[in-house]
Structure 1
Amino acid sequence: MDYIILDIEFNGRKFASEHPMEVIEIGAVRLDSSLQYKDEFSSLIKPIYFSTLNSFIKKKTGIPQEEIDIAARFPKVITAFREWLDLSTDGVLLLTWGGEDMKRIIQDVRMHKMDDSYWMSATYFDLLKGVLRARGLSNDISVEGAMALFELEPSGSAHRALDDAKMTSEIFRAVFKDLDFERSQHYVDTFSNAKERKTVKVAIKAMNSQKIVPTWDLVLEHYFSDKTTLVDPRKLEELQNYFAAQMGQK
């Protein structure tokens, strides 16, 4: 089995919009089962929306607008990436720094009305969480922070997909023996956001401090004043299950 260290960059916006942010760059490094470098993949992508990069994204990534303008669209790039992944005849394990990369890829696959079955069934390991567990850390750290933690020398440009993938591969080598690969996973759709889940945790803590037995109905009534945000029954069920899980930890 090969290890694929994956990183993406996506465009942003400075204002509220109904249009989604999109992947604008994919970078990946392939390591063999002995953690030796085999090859790499890198491609820019011209998005449908916000194809003119705003100043923040240009400064953060250093991606030239001129290169975005002539880049291929997502369907062509993701097809080429799939073909590159399939060169690993004994299968792959994707390594990501956090869960956002898989989410963004699947979002764009769906937006372009492509088949998402490969990505939904792909096995991936969240290396960020692996590092936090291995080192007993409670707060997220960046790739650059992890490089410093393992006393590794940064190289390339931060926030360029391939360079980030290369640095992440060095972190992967450094922490490999301490990783619990039983925690590898498949992407699961999430309908609530971090703020909504935090609201549930805050509600439970507040009620406990007031010596009130927390119930889902009380959380719903007193902590979600804007009920329109919960019209999606999938989100409502997810938050209710999250409440039950939090209560189970007490």
Structure 2
Amino acid sequence: MDYIILDIEFNGRKFASDHPMEVIEIGAVRLDSSLQYKDEFSSLIKPIYFSTLNSFIKKKTGIPQEEIDVADRFPKVITDFREWLDLSTDGVLLLTWGGEDMKRIIQDVRIHKMDVSYWLAAPYFDLLKGVLRARGLSNDISVEGAMALFELDPSGSAHRALDDARMTSEIFRAVFNELDFERVQHYKDTFSNARERKTVKIAIKAITAQKIVPTWDLVAEHYFPEKTLADPRKLAELQDYFAAQVNKS
């Protein structure tokens, strides 16, 4: 089995919009089962929405607008990427820094009405969480922070997909023997975000501090605007999360 260290960049926006942000760059490094470098993949993508990069994204990534303008669209790039992945005849394990990369790829596959089954079935390992568990850390750290943690020399440009994938592959090598690969997972759709789930935890703590038994109705009434819970899928997910947190405490 080969290890595929994956990173993506996506476009941003400065204002609220119903249009989604899209992947604008995919970078990946392939390591063999002995953690030896084999090859890599890199491609820019011209998005449908917000195809003119705003100043923040241009400054953050350094991606030239001129290269985005002539890049292939997502269906072509993701097809090329799949073909590159399939060169690993004994299968692959995707490694990402956090869960956002898989979410963004699957979102774009769906936007373009492509078959999503490969990505839903693909095993992946969240290396960020793996590092946090291995080193007993409670707060998220960046790729650059992890490079410093493991005393590795950073190279390339942060926030360019291939350079980030290269640096992440070095972190993976450094922490490999400390990782719990029982934590390999498959993508699962989520309808709430990290901030909303954190709000649930804060609400439980605050209500309990007042010597009141926390209930979902109290949390919903005092900590969430009604429109936030309008999606029944998000509502059900946050209710389940609330129940799990109450049981844990």
Return 5+ residue gaps in structure 2 as ranges: none
Q: Displacement, 1:195?
A: 2.3
Instruction: Give SS of 1:26's match.
Output: strand
Structure 2: how far apart are the matches of 1:111 and 1:158? 27
Letter in structure 2 aligned against 1:228: K
**Corresponding residue for 2:131?**
131
The alignment's TM-score, normalised by the length of structure 2, stands at 0.98
Instruction: Give SS of 1:8's match.
Output: strand
**Corresponding residue for 1:41?**
41
Q: Which moved more, 1:130-139 or 1:226-235?
A: 226-235
Structure 2: how far apart are the matches of 1:87 and 1:132? 31
Q: Displacement, 1:119?
A: 0.5
**Corresponding residue for 2:65?**
65
Structure 1: how far apart are the matches of 2:114 and 2:2? 25
Structure 1: how far apart are the matches of 2:181 and 2:194? 25
Q: Displacement, 1:221?
A: 2.3
**Corresponding residue for 1:248?**
247
Q: Displacement, 1:219?
A: 1.4
**Corresponding residue for 2:106?**
106
Letter in structure 1 aligned against 2:58: K
Structure 2: how far apart are the matches of 1:222 and 1:8? 37
**Corresponding residue for 1:211?**
211
Q: How many residues are matched? A: 249
**Corresponding residue for 2:226?**
227
**Corresponding residue for 1:74?**
74
**Corresponding residue for 1:12?**
12
**Corresponding residue for 1:172?**
172
Q: Displacement, 1:222?
A: 2.4
Return 5+ residue gaps in structure 1 as ranges: none
Instruction: Give SS of 2:140's match.
Output: coil
**Corresponding residue for 1:237?**
236
Q: Displacement, 1:148?
A: 0.6
Structure 1: how far apart are the matches of 2:136 and 2:220? 34
**Corresponding residue for 1:188?**
188
Instruction: Give SS of 1:235's match.
Output: helix
Structure 2: how far apart are the matches of 1:201 and 1:239? 11
Structure 1: how far apart are the matches of 2:146 and 2:198? 26
Letter in structure 2 aligned against 1:53: L
- Percent identity at matched positions? 88
Q: Displacement, 1:223?
A: 2.1
Structure 1: how far apart are the matches of 2:52 and 2:200? 38
Structure 1: how far apart are the matches of 2:5 and 2:220? 40
Instruction: Give SS of 1:68's match.
Output: helix
Q: After the TM superposition, which segments of 4 or more aligned residues of structure 1 sit over 3 Å from their partners?
A: none
Q: Residues 169-193 of structure 1: CA distance to partner in whole angstroms, max 9, x if unpaired? A: 0000000000000001011111012
Letter in structure 2 aligned against 1:10: F
Structure 2: how far apart are the matches of 1:229 and 1:38? 46
Q: Displacement, 1:23?
A: 0.3
The alignment's TM-score, normalised by the length of structure 1, stands at 0.98
